[in-house]
Structure 1
Amino acid sequence: MAFIYTKRLRGWRLCLFNGCLGISHALVIFNAGAYIAMLPRVAGGLGIPLSFATWTQTDYMIGMALAFPVGVWLSHRIGEYRPFIAAFVLFALASLLCACSTSYYGYLAGRILLGFSGGITLPMGQAMVLKEFPDKRKSIGIGIWSLFTLTPFTLGPPIGGWIADVLGWRWLFWLNIPIALALSGIIGALLYQRGFKRIRRRFDLTGFILLSIALFSFQTLLNQGNDWGWTRSATINGLAVVIIVSGITWVIWELSIRQPFLDIRLFKHRNFAIGALTLFVGFLCFQGLLSMLIVQLQVSMGYSSLLAGLVFLPMAIFAKPISGIFHEITPRFDARLLASLNLVSFAAVYFWLGRFDDTDSYEQLVWPMLLEGVCLGSFFVPLTALMLHGLSPERQWRAVELASLMRIAGGAFGITLQGIVLYQRTPFHLTRIAETHHPLNTAYDRAIAPLLQAGLSESQAWIKVFQLDARASAISAINDAFWLAACVFCGLAVLVWFANPTRQRRPVTDEQLIRREAQETLAEDL
């Protein structure tokens, strides 16, 4: 039986503790956000196609998604700080494997292990913060913790781009190792012999294994479908069968036991179903477009990793302040109204970005990204309030578990799905351009004449024209992806109105306010 230590940290120990937990949280999220800008460098460094490099990012996120409920169960079973420390030691070992691995599949295994070990720490960190603050100051702890949610994600791409350009992409993992070990050592020293209250709850190993098989199989199918020819590949067809069988079996199993890995019965509640679906689809579009644009700015338009990451720096200006404002105003309004306005704003941003046509114009990207930072900051809070409305406190935490897994997995799916859109639309636009660029068309003469006058031979001029056409077709395909996402967000803005109103009619206690703020902050984690 565990002995419970009630004495909390104070003074410089509390400050050090909060700083370490914030850095640990930022480190896990940073390894997702910063890595996006490195994908072309990773592909070149490992000698693999870009789609295989993307696979290492999406499986990192799937590992993180699956680990989130595991982290909650471990914290109930053996407390927070012991598995938290073990997870960061494992995080350091996984980083070492990624830094040293020359084999692609060994590197992929390291990335999955890195995501899983990092994902375990996400729910534990917030729980540890709340335990160290007295009841009257728990909101301060939540405020400190919330500073480390969106910031690493918005600052990650430019910093990751700088690391890739200046130090080399493997340095992301070399830097992880001392930071992770130092964090585990300091937190272990501060909380040495700290007890916990054990909550006996059976771990649904069968449900975890079935869901892992379904998610990793589905992600592999999405990542490799273009490379392996979709239905023309026996491997893809086999994966489809595995996904269907494991998915159906998982649903039946989860509905048949008392303590499932994820409480999918929550989907019987209209607000949860609509809120969770909107979070899933919205983050799928956002994360996918973010990754696609950062990669294509480098691959198709010649940007460096740093410059491609800097395009997204304006998002950091408003994302966190707007998020703080929405934590305060959401209880005073119907969450459907705030969510709908946010989704319409996202649609406007993507319609705006869908007009991008100048590879050298930062202005065409910076101003929409500034507005997208506002949208990102106001995205999570109203949808979380909508999703949790009408649920008991215990079921609210289970709802956060399920929604967090869905959202993180949706981000992984979105990265691959936007790649599929790009893969399908680029040849279409290139074909349309080629229809006008032939010797019998005057447009051909206008395109090739300046190049011939510059001293290029006809064959060299033709190669240059083809390169420009390939860039133009990639830009058109990117615009198609933004327009498609804008239409999806318009549909989501209508969907949220089918939920029940959420405006509170009774006074809310301090305990309820703290719990809601903690849940909203946890829902913002990547």
Structure 2
Amino acid sequence: MNSTVFQSELKGIKLLFAALFLSLANFMVVLDMTIANVSVPHITGSLAVSSSQGTWVITSYAVAEAICVPLTGWLVGRFGAVRVFSISLIGFTIFSILCGLSTSLTMLVIFRIGQGLFGGPIMPLSQMLLMRIFPPEKHSQAMGMWAMTTVVGPILGPILGGTISDNMSWHWIFFINIPVGIVCALGVMLLLKSAETPVEKLKIDSIGLGLLVLWIAALQLMLDFGHEKDWFNSSFICALAVIMVIGFIAFVIWEYYEKHPIVNIQIFRYRGFSIATLSLAFAFAAFFGSIVLIPQWLQMNLGYTASWAGYLTATMGFGSLTMSPIVAKLATKYDPRALSSFGLMILGGVTLMRAFWVTDADFMALAWPQIIQGFAVPFFFIPLSNIALGAVQPNEVASAAGLMNFLRTMAGAIGASIAVTLWDDHAKLARSEIVSTMHVTDTQQVLMQKGFNSETALGIISDLVNKEALTLSVNHVFLIFAMVFIFAGLIIWLCPKPKNVVEAGAAH
């Protein structure tokens, strides 16, 4: 996908509005990645499903979006960037309405998949079109505007999601997209006709696309249903595992020999790209798994409202906003391997702090790891992207960026599924261990002496045991994630020292 130089006819106020519509559309899609995180307990309560099933609302969107990212280049070549962008916005808005009208988990997950499929091309195309309508000397300002919406979206997402879920209903986290989607779609269609890219009849790698959808769908279904079906004791899960492995191997072989692949896997021949992308995938899986898990634990265990869970989650935003421009400058002067390793080690450290959380922790004890994490995130994200894209040939940067985005998004969805599954599984184990060492009858007697009847006393004990089990389990997950971050921070040193410096913004 190439943002070829184009002298825009847009000037002054028209150019400003065009840039605003593109940035706002990007902001809406980025916001939707995190807006549902703090609303999961509301959604699961309303639809009467478990917390692990509620996570499907997040993972289905991420997986659908990941599948669409490699398709964006072909769609642009075949139909034109402005047309694809407008249709994506309209589709995203329609599926947002359908998500808000959902009355069951099945409906919601299906419509979230639709939202993700149409939302996938919006992020890379908003960046590409901004580069097309602004003259080269203003590209850095355009990218700054775009990057700001990309950073602010995940910060505002939990706050908006929590406030809306508490004060209105979870359905409105999807309905708020309607005015933004309509205004942006109309604005883009009216203002950006002249910025349309040339189109040609392109062949699509339909076998590659089919295999990609097959193995990813099998993998995600395996992760989502494995917990309920008792993993490999279920023939359904075993069948999914076989489909996933065979589909993946067939996909890799097909894409390697295909002339116009949907995913250019030959880019993995560069050691720098392969290791940096692997490190990014591991880190993002642990990062995204954490930001999905924390709001659920806060609400289920500590009695936080969705709004307060949103405020706590968003405390990392200040550090991310502050450090992003600083790290972008540092990345041009210092070895990006050292910067990314530093960032990942800090993330490992703050995740280790979370592994010692207790049920009666106060707000600041929970907020400090979030605040420190905010400062560390740009250190792993920006330099890792620079290492990966600096390792490939200039004509392969677009393919490499698309592949990296795809793997990062997929890793996030997998991380979220694994986090919630581990949390749930270990909570049952922790509960049985606590109960086996407790003298339930003695505790019940003490409570009955204080005026409680036997059933109420048992209820209090059960509630306390459940809370402690969930906290011990969440600590266990964070301990695993801390090791994942440290592993990602160590393997980055296997990369050769980068020679090329990639233009800021190409990473997205």
The bucket for the TM-score relative to the shorter chain is over 0.9
Structure 2 counterpart of 1:243, one-letter code: M
The equivalent of 1:205 in structure 2 is 206
| 1:46 CA drift (Å) | 2.2
1:10 aligns with 2:8: no
The equivalent of 1:456 in structure 2 is 452
SS in structure 2 of the partner of residue 395 of structure 1? helix
The equivalent of 2:426 in structure 1 is 425
Partners of 1:279 and 1:469 in 2: CA distance: 37
Structure 1 counterpart of 2:216, one-letter code: L
| 1:200 CA drift (Å) | 6.3
The equivalent of 1:512 in structure 2 is none
Partners of 2:352 and 2:448 in 1: CA distance: 38
| 1:189 CA drift (Å) | 0.7
Structure 1 counterpart of 2:498, one-letter code: T
Change (3 A) 1:103 1:238: same
The equivalent of 2:29 in structure 1 is 28
Contact 1:68 1:122 in 2 (8 A): no
1:516 aligns with 2:503: yes
Contact 1:71 1:122 in 2 (8 A): no
The equivalent of 2:72 in structure 1 is 71
In the alignment of these two chains, the number of paired residues is 504
Q: 1:483 aligns with which of 479, 484, 489?
A: 479
| 1:502 CA drift (Å) | 1.8
Matches within 5 A, 1:100-115: 100-115=101-116
Partners of 1:452 and 1:79 in 2: CA distance: 73
Q: Please say which of residues 295-304 and 31-40 is displaced more in the overlay.
A: 295-304
After superposition, what is the alpha-carbon deviation per residue over 1:185-218, rounded to whole angstroms, capped at 9, x for unaligned? 0111111354423466532222112111111211
The equivalent of 1:292 in structure 2 is 293
Change (3 A) 1:145 1:363: same
Contact 1:271 1:499 in 2 (8 A): yes
Q: Please say which of residues 246-255 and 200-209 is displaced more in the overlay.
A: 200-209
Structure 2 counterpart of 1:132, one-letter code: I
| 1:97 CA drift (Å) | 1.6
Partners of 2:250 and 2:483 in 1: CA distance: 34
Contact 1:72 1:124 in 2 (8 A): no
Structure 2 counterpart of 1:465, one-letter code: I
| 1:44 CA drift (Å) | 2.1
Partners of 1:461 and 1:97 in 2: CA distance: 45
Matches within 5 A, 1:43-58: 43-58=44-59
SS in structure 1 of the partner of residue 391 of structure 2? coil
| 1:17 CA drift (Å) | 1.3
| 1:239 CA drift (Å) | 1.2
Partners of 2:161 and 2:108 in 1: CA distance: 18
Structure 1 counterpart of 2:328, one-letter code: H
After superposition, what is the alpha-carbon deviation per residue over 1:132-163, rounded to whole angstroms, capped at 9, x for unaligned? 11111111111111101121112211210111
Identity of aligned residues (%): 26
| 1:111 CA drift (Å) | 0.6
1:344 aligns with 2:331: no
| 1:448 CA drift (Å) | 5.0
Matches within 5 A, 1:75-114: 75-114=76-115
Change (3 A) 1:213 1:352: same
Contact 2:158 2:310 in 1 (8 A): yes
SS in structure 2 of the partner of residue 372 of structure 1? helix
Structure 1 counterpart of 2:62, one-letter code: M
Contact 2:7 2:133 in 1 (8 A): no
Partners of 2:390 and 2:193 in 1: CA distance: 39
Partners of 2:196 and 2:93 in 1: CA distance: 25
1:500 aligns with 2:500: no
Structure 2 counterpart of 1:479, one-letter code: N
The equivalent of 1:409 in structure 2 is 410
Change (3 A) 1:357 1:409: same
SS in structure 1 of the partner of residue 504 of structure 2? helix
Structure 2 counterpart of 1:18, one-letter code: A
Partners of 1:149 and 1:450 in 2: CA distance: 55
Change (3 A) 1:200 1:395: farther
After superposition, what is the alpha-carbon deviation per residue over 1:396-436, rounded to whole angstroms, capped at 9, x for unaligned? 21111111000001100111101121122112221221122
Partners of 2:349 and 2:6 in 1: CA distance: 52
Partners of 1:325 and 1:433 in 2: CA distance: 48
After superposition, what is the alpha-carbon deviation per residue over 1:483-506, rounded to whole angstroms, capped at 9, x for unaligned? 1111121122211111101256xx
Q: Please say which of residues 391-400 and 227-236 is displaced more in the overlay.
A: 227-236
Structure 2 counterpart of 1:13, one-letter code: K
The equivalent of 1:310 in structure 2 is 311
Partners of 1:131 and 1:193 in 2: CA distance: 10
Contact 2:92 2:119 in 1 (8 A): yes
| 1:131 CA drift (Å) | 0.8
The equivalent of 1:390 in structure 2 is 391
Contact 2:6 2:133 in 1 (8 A): no
Contact 2:205 2:260 in 1 (8 A): yes
The equivalent of 2:178 in structure 1 is 177
Contact 2:158 2:311 in 1 (8 A): yes
| 1:332 CA drift (Å) | 1.0
Contact 2:430 2:473 in 1 (8 A): yes
Contact 1:267 1:273 in 2 (8 A): yes
Structure 2 counterpart of 1:365, one-letter code: L
| 1:102 CA drift (Å) | 2.2
The equivalent of 1:251 in structure 2 is 252
1:471 aligns with 2:472: no
Change (3 A) 1:318 1:69: same
* Unmatched tracts of structure 1, length 5 or more: 509-514
Contact 1:64 1:117 in 2 (8 A): yes
Change (3 A) 1:244 1:49: same
Matches within 5 A, 1:111-122: 111-122=112-123
Change (3 A) 1:495 1:360: closer
After superposition, what is the alpha-carbon deviation per residue over 1:254-281, rounded to whole angstroms, capped at 9, x for unaligned? 0111111111112221111111101111
SS in structure 2 of the partner of residue 258 of structure 1? coil
Q: Please say which of residues 294-303 and 55-64 is displaced more in the overlay.
A: 294-303
